[in-house]
Amino acid sequence: MSADQKVALVTGATRGIGLETVRQLAQAGVLTLLAGRDATRTRAAAETLKAEGLPVEPIALDVTSTESIDQAVAQVQSRFGKLDILVNNAGILVDELGKAPSQQSLQAWRETFDTNLFAVVEVTNAFLPLLKKAPAARIVNVSSQLGSFGLHTDPTSSIYNFKIPAYNVSKSAVNAWTVHLSYELRDTPIKVNAIHPGYVQTEMNGGQGEIDVPTGAKSSVGMALIGADGPTGSFTYLGKTLPW
């Protein structure tokens, strides 16, 4: 690894959008750490991409475990001494579809927020010292247009009737976290942005999406590679600003 090569870490990257994000970042020449909760699956996914000649390495990371996060940070510190790009991609959807907001179990709310929000905050904070050691780090939070208050309160919006409460509200909170962290880091070279990947054909939605996985990864990759003139504190889809 050369001294000026960028190092990225993508969470929840053993399949779907996360795996494709790793592939596209590596294709752009970024040494990319493929992070996953299951060490065996993580190694297998990384080996598949390495066999394609891509600069990819596996790293075990359960985003809901403080011990696992600390171990991952120690590994990155020891091996690279910095982190240029953090893509917070890991997420879950456990709402009972068809049930109203008031009918969702409290357990579903807690489980969703543990992974979709609290893990994003903890992982980001843990890696922040390494991100600050990079010349101009990028933090990308994978959100969703389903977290948009503007779209949910607009009767003409395509998602107006698409209420998956715990998941949607967790993504609204991710957007708010993005705004606050970008404000904190406004006088540094670090840029923090939230993206909507699109309605992607993944296992999470049973393949019912409108776009393929490679297209779904483009928003994360594009924002991870923005230059000094790029935005911070934004919420976009393929470069188009979305309503909060």
Residues designated as active site: 167, 171
What is the distance between the alpha carbons of residues 53 and 68, in angstroms, rounded to a whole number?
Answer: 28
CB atoms within 10 A of CB 135: 9
- Of 54, 44, 62, 69, the residue nearest 22 (C-alpha): 54
> In this structure, what token pair is assigned to residue 3?
């001294």
The strand order across the sheet containing 31-36 reads 56-60, 31-36, 7-10, 85-88, 138-142, 191-195, 235-237, 240-241
Amino acid at 4: D
> In this structure, what token pair is assigned to residue 131?
């991100």
Count of residues for the chain? 244
Specify burial of residue 52 (Cβ count, 10 A radius: 0-12, 13-18, 19+): exposed
What is the distance between the alpha carbons of residues 23 and 5, in angstroms, rounded to a whole number?
Answer: 16
Cβ-contact 140, 220 below 8 angstroms: yes
Alpha carbon separation from 173 to 110, 149, 218 (Å, rounded) = 13, 11, 23
Beta strand residue intervals within the chain, DSSP E: 7-10, 31-36, 56-60, 85-88, 138-142, 191-195, 235-237, 240-241
